A and B are shown apart, each in its own frame.
Chain A
Amino acid sequence: MSGPSAADGGRVTYWRVLFVVSATLLVLALLCFAFGQAPHAVLARAFAGTWGTPYGIGQVMFKATPLLFCGLAFHVAFRAGLFNIGAEGQLALASLAAAWVASKLPASVPAVVALPATLAVAMLVGGGYAAIAGVLRARFGVHEIIAGIMLNRSADVLLPWVLAAGLGADSMRSADIAQGARLPRLDFIPGLHGSAASLAFPLAVLCTFGLYLWLDRSRAGREMRWIGQGPDACLAQGVEVPRRRIEAMCLSGAVAALGVTGTVLGYKGYYELGLGSGAGFSGIAVAMLGRAHPVALVSAALLFGTLAQAGLAVNASVPKEAMAVLEALVILLVAGSAHGDRARRARPGRAKPPAPDAPAEPSLDAPAEGAPSPGSTA
């Protein structure tokens, strides 16, 4: 990752992570008291169920995989100044499509063909579904948040209908996928035996680093970033703003679709209704927490994965919803601290947009044309 603004933004983010983690631990302690449990015992159990054992680590990676893909998806769109809230629907539709295609493949098809084909279908469906919001935004000015929410709802309705009417499934699940389309588990690592971790997690990490690099180096990636930072200047200088916006949205949807690797292809072996749901929204928080740097993004995904897995581990003594409370808390804290940054930056009367180190990201609540108009330069 190059560029001074990115590096400095990263520093700020690590402090934010530290703050968020300590606040989260504090609230966890309070929750434990509320359920009549000793916090240290709950914490010990949570730790044992996550990072304390190889099995736990594997489970954290499994939980983190869709989160990382969806976080990465959100990040891609956000760099171009777009708020892809529709990852949820994109991932769900892509999962169903991938599972259906993979289940139709003959058992004899080797993995080198089956896997890429399945992934291609998933990315096409995810990207295509996102493209609807992208085109509406770029050509007709429909806000992508509104479109994204509507498309999520549409997917909610579409999925059971397609499963029941289209595929004739009698339960709310697809047929089993062909052996060739399955992603290898990380079973061969002795400690991880039994966990749901598959090659999907390393693949997600690889994608994260690759995509960050691409955003920084490629022509399309750089132009997307500029559009996110200054759409008016880009338009006036002849950068294809509408086209790049649509591309960014499609790419975002395609990346979200890759979340299918962790759930369908790496674990279940089929798609069932609700599989992987929630990742699209949690991915937004992951991206906001870790947008500055690929390492931060992976860490944020692991943090949320840890919380989810810890919830299962402590479920016997503290309901796992306690961890959902913590997750919500993290989202609030992240949003709050991001707002704090913006408020400081937007303090009235800054003579010059001063700091070369001010994080240069599109604002969360103004992903549209609302470019900040900095004060005069006297």
Chain B
Amino acid sequence: MDGLLLELVKVSRSFGATRALHELDLRLSPGRITAIVGENGAGKSTALRLCAGELAPDAGEVRVGGRALHPARPEEAIRRGVGLVHQHFMLVDGFTALENLVLGAEPMRGLRIDFAAARREACALAERTGLEVDFERRAGELTVGERQRLEILKVLYRRARAVLLDEPSAVLAPSEVGELYAALRRLADDGATVAVVTHRLDEVVRFCDEALVMRRGELAARTPLGAERPPELVAELTRAIMGREPPAPLGRPAAPDPGPEPVLELGGVELRDAAGRRLLDGISLALSAGEIVGVAGVDGNGQRELVRVCAGLERATAGTVRVGGRDPFAGVHPGPAAVRAARRAGLVVVHEDRQREELVLAASLGDNALLGDLGAGHDAERVARRLARFAVEPATPRLPAQALSGGNQQKLVLGRARDRQVRALVVSQPTRGVDVGTARRIQTALAEAAAAGAAVLCVSADLSELAALCHRIVVVRRGRIVCELPPDASEDAFGRAMLGVEAA
């Protein structure tokens, strides 16, 4: 494969009043895996999207193989050999993997799609790269790992010589992460240009050849990763990313004495979808006051449903949720009334998709701070308190929520949740897509909530977060709790439990 050099030359790009990139110079060289790291809003994804023609620069030039990318359109970038794998998969669920693969680039035989040729090429591609996917299955039935492999195959099928990935590991189990990077390594060895935007620095140190550190739309540091990779490198990268000393490690609150009665108790909670499939299959869990329990698992194994049942948005088809011994959902229809019943009982939930389930992005910060509490009076004080609780910046109530970075959006969400009367707190992906400093702040807030006597149930895809924060961790797979592990269990043990591989 010929190498394809990607360059950003003095590129600036703004979104409205927000400056995402400022005279950025960036080189992505062939034959290596380059990691692009930085805090939220540092411009990492913007840089990738400029390379892939999804955005046009305001100033400066994007060069692909030494020539300017013009016109700055995705079609042109694909034609020139640049492929971008989005963080959110862009697959048609009802199509088979093969149909998804060729969608928009179908090999034709007369007026019909030549699926035989497509299948031959797909299998050859999969074999060469080691990216195994069952091409006959519908995309909706594939595992998260398979879907991602399919996305990578999609860009390779379009003859991409530069593969750009946005947060590829955010949804994978530890062992799948290893496989992903093994495949990327094969691509790079084959001469492809591989660039990865990620928040996970341990991965960068383990798998990548070079780390580009971005800060506020500029390149802050370029760290080649040689043969020697001391563990201090992670701390060093963290410093470069933040531009200051990394925050002190999180102190886990002492495990509480188990009280006479659990604060939050799930008893055999089962949830079936309309087709009768069990999305939750007998989840039983009891949390004492002051206890933090983690829920680990590969995305899509019932975590989301578990949180929605706790929130009152879904009614468990069997089993109960009890707060302080009482079922807040007894006699209430799932929906807004149940949400308020849970809140009255002191059960407060923070959903995983904060931009869709927690915030009205187009509405102002003040409106969002009051969402669900309008009509209770003292609006101005309430807004001020909730913005100030975790120091949302900028704390301008009139500003729309979409103007905030992900971290500040989450600070607002948590400020609102903590301002309510909390006996049990259920949070999902509290620090997903949030930068290091804010993530630590949020984790500390959860620990403080527990120290203040709340029971905290934390669903997270970030194992290191769960290990640092939780007193014990349950692993879910296919809607069932498969085991309970202490926080100091090995990553390997978690990986096996999450994927259902028997212990070797």
**Chain A residues with a Cβ under 8 A of chain B:** 3-5, 219, 222-223, 225-226, 229-230, 232-243, 347-358, 360-361, 371, 373-378
Contact = CB atoms under 8 A, between A and B. Distances in A.
Given A219-B375, A356-B400, A373 B367 contact: no
Contacts of A352: 15, 18, 20, 41, 402, 405
A4 B355 contact: no
B361 A374 contact: yes
Nearest to B84: A349
B355 A373 contact: yes
Contact of A236 (B15, B41, B166, B357): B357
B336 A239 contact: yes
A240 B357 contact: no
B371 A233 contact: yes
Contacts of A242: 335-336
A219 B166 CA distance: 40
B421 to A, nearest CB: 14
B425 to A, nearest CB: 15
B197 interface: yes
Contacts of B406: 377
Nearest to B338: A238
Interface stretch (B26-34, B43-51, B446-454, B464-472): B43-51
B20 A226 contact: no
Contacts of B96: none
Nearest to B54: A349
Given A238-B336, A238-B340, A378-B197, A353 B311 contact: no
Contacts of B311: 236
A233 B360 contact: yes
Interface string B348-384: 0101010111111111100100011011000000000
A4 B398 contact: yes
12 contacts: A4-B398, A226-B363, A229-B361, A233-B358, A237-B371, A239-B372, A351-B15, A356-B16, A361-B362, A376-B433, A378-B40, A378-B44
Given A226-B367, A238-B337, A357-B17, 6 more contacts: A229-B361, A229-B363, A238-B336, A353-B355, A374-B361, A378-B40
Contact of A355 (B17, B356, B359, B360): B17
Nearest to B398: A4
Contacts of A378: 38, 40-42, 44-46, 166-167, 197, 433
Nearest to A237: B372
The 7 A-B pairs of least Cβ separation, nearest first, read: A354-B15, A355-B16, A360-B362, A349-B54, A237-B372, A230-B360, A377-B406
B57 interface: no
Contacts of A376: 45, 87-88, 166-167, 433
Contacts of A358: 16, 362, 402
Interface residues of B, number: 61
B326 to A, nearest CB: 18
B314 to A, nearest CB: 11
Contacts of A374: 355, 361, 402
A229 B374 contact: no
B361 A3 contact: no
A316 B500 CA distance: 82
A354 B49 CA distance: 14
Contacts of A377: 40-41, 45, 405-406, 409, 433
A234 B357 CA distance: 8
Interface string B153-171: 0000000000000110000
B18 A354 contact: yes
B24 to A, nearest CB: 13
A238 B41 CA distance: 30
Nearest to B42: A378
B336 A235 contact: yes
Nearest to A356: B403
B16 A357 contact: yes
Contacts of A357: 16-17
Nearest to A377: B406
Contact of A351 (B20, B313, B351, B353): B20
B16 A234 contact: no
B74 interface: yes
Given A348-B74, A356-B16, A240 B336 contact: yes
A350 to B, nearest CB: 7
A5 B87 contact: no
Contacts of B361: 229-230, 353, 374
B399 interface: yes
A356 B402 contact: yes
B339 A356 contact: no
B55 interface: yes
Contacts of A229: 360-363
A114 B340 CA distance: 44
A375 B87 contact: yes
A222 B367 CA distance: 8
B185 interface: no
Contacts of B42: 378
B155 to A, nearest CB: 14
Nearest to B307: A236
Given A375-B88, A378-B42, A378-B197, A235 B339 contact: yes
A232 B372 CA distance: 12
A373 B351 contact: no
A333 B160 CA distance: 40
Contact of A356 (B38, B41, B88, B399): B399
Contacts of A347: 54-55
Contacts of A354: 14-16, 18, 20, 402
Contacts of A5: 362, 400
A238 B344 CA distance: 11
A3 B167 contact: no
Contact of A235 (B15, B335, B343): B335
Contacts of B197: 378
A223 B374 contact: yes
Contact of A230 (B55, B356, B375, B409): B356
B371 A234 contact: yes
B356 to A, nearest CB: 5
A312 B351 CA distance: 58
A349 B62 CA distance: 16
A356 B396 CA distance: 12
A236 B311 CA distance: 7
B360 A226 contact: yes
Interface in B310-334: 311, 313
Contacts of B374: 219, 222-223, 239
B473 interface: no
B463 interface: no
Contacts of B402: 352-354, 356, 358, 374
Nearest to A354: B15
A348 to B, nearest CB: 5
Contacts of B266: none
B32 to A, nearest CB: 21
Interface in B60-95: 74, 84, 86-88
A229 B41 CA distance: 24
Contacts of A355: 15-18
Contacts of A4: 398-400
A55 to B, nearest CB: 44
B204 interface: no
Nearest to B312: A238
Nearest to A353: B402
B269 interface: no
A341 B353 CA distance: 26
Contacts of B16: 354-358
Given A235-B335, A376-B167, A378-B433, A230 B362 contact: yes
